[in-house]
Amino acid sequence: MRFQPITALRLSCFAAAFFTYTFAVAQEWKSGVEWNEPPVVTPGNENHQPPSDAIILFDGSSLEQWEGGKLWKIEDGVAIPQKAKIVSRQHFGDVQLHVEWSAPTEINGTGQGRGNSGIYLMGKYEVQVLDSYDNATYFDGQAGAIYKQTPPMVNAMRKPGEWNSYDILFTAPRFKTNGDVETPGFVTLMHNGVVVLNHFELFGPTSYTEAPHYVPHAEKGPLELQFHGDPVRFRNIWVRELTPPTGVRVRAPFNIQKPKKPAAQEEPVVDDTATEQPDTSDAGDQTDEKK
């Protein structure tokens, strides 16, 4: 069997036919939702700086945004816990929260007795603050843990006296009218730019003595900074309320049929290979042999 080569003419015809078919059947899917335009937010010059829509809770000058703020000491633009916890006057649900903190430079104590504090979301769900630099303790109680629920994935702690940053994404839990959990809460945490909690599902509020379990509560709650007796320092605290994109469904999802492009005119396929002729060079010899 003899194969005929694919010529440039044949190849171009095949390509034209394939393109015409693909163009004719291609469709664009549309969701059927008309989305509202996302608002414009101007970011800070650096990632740790508040964007234009942030609510400033502590800028180094005062703690007037916090109930109990007068109990804490402010020194060189830094807030130092004293006497009792402080509670934000404003309540929040889903938020992006930025907090910078530093464990004491002078090391005193070990385990939970060293640089201990905490950040409570909605006043109920604690992200642990602790000097976890070369300091052994139970893992679900070290810095970056959801206290007594999960350790961080890694220990990203800086040395005592150096500043740490927490960037927290919090999704508040939702409850049905009968008090059942509709959706649990979730926390994502970046510690010094390192993801240490990735959309962790909360088991319930933080408790030192009880297993975590949900109890229905309001859609919004305050932020709290814990006083645990240690001179932990805080600075640059800001928060953004998170609002999902909004839109209106105007039709069911659908496909847009793109207009068909006129089919390319096919050119006749020409076989430019030479026509084979029977080989008769020895026909005379065969005749003589038969004779």
Residues making up the chain, counted from first to last:
291
**Each residue of 127-146: pLDDT tens digit?**
999 999 999 999 999 999 99
Q: How far is residue 22 from each of residues 28, 113, 261, measured CA to CA in Å?
A: 13, 69, 10
Contact in structure between 228 and 117 (CB atoms under 8 Å): yes
Q: pTM for this structure?
A: 0.80
Q: Which CATH superfamily is domain 50-241 in?
A: Exo-inulinase; domain 1 (2.60.120.560)
Rg (CA), the chain: 35
Q: Is the dihedral of CA 216, 217, 219, 220 positive or negative?
A: negative
Q: What is the pLDDT of residue 288?
A: 47
Q: Where are the domains of the chain?
A: 50-241
Mean residue pLDDT of the chain comes to 88
State residue 103's pLDDT score: 95
Residue keyed to tokens 């163009």: 23
| pLDDT band at residue 41 using 50, 70 and 90 as cut-offs | very high
